[in-house]
Amino acid sequence: MTLHLLADDDSVLHKLPNRGSGVLVSCGDIADSIILQASQALGCAEILAVKGNHDSGGAFPLPIVDLHLITHTIAGVRFGGFNGS
């Protein structure tokens, strides 16, 4: 499993690697639209995220899995998280 982690940088689309990732994990303070664009550019099958302290309180759009106070298992690896404060 290949992971790509994002946090705190909405200019990330210009910094993505040329290779794909299986899972995109956003650790907060990235716009939902940027998360979706990055996952598409990387060809990610799974998108996991938590909201940061500068994010809106609204729900993530599908197919982003909100990890706030839950766990999500991919290929036997368990991910969990909580929103920033």
Interval 9-57: pLDDT, tens? 989 998 898 888 899 999 999 999 999 999 999 999 999 999 999 888 8
CA–CA separation, 69 vs 19, rounded Å?
Answer: 31
**What gap in Å lies between CA 17 and CA 37, rounded to an integer?**
14
Residues in the chain: 85
Dump pLDDT digits (tens) for 49-82.
999 998 888 999 999 999 999 999 999 999 999 9
- Residue reference for tokens 């598409």: 40
Number of CB atoms found within 10 A of residue 36's CB: 18
Q: How far apart are CA 54 and CA 37, in angstroms?
A: 19
Coil, strand or helix: which one is 3?
A: strand
Q: Rounded to two decimals, what is the model's pTM?
A: 0.93
For the chain, what are the domain ranges?
3-80
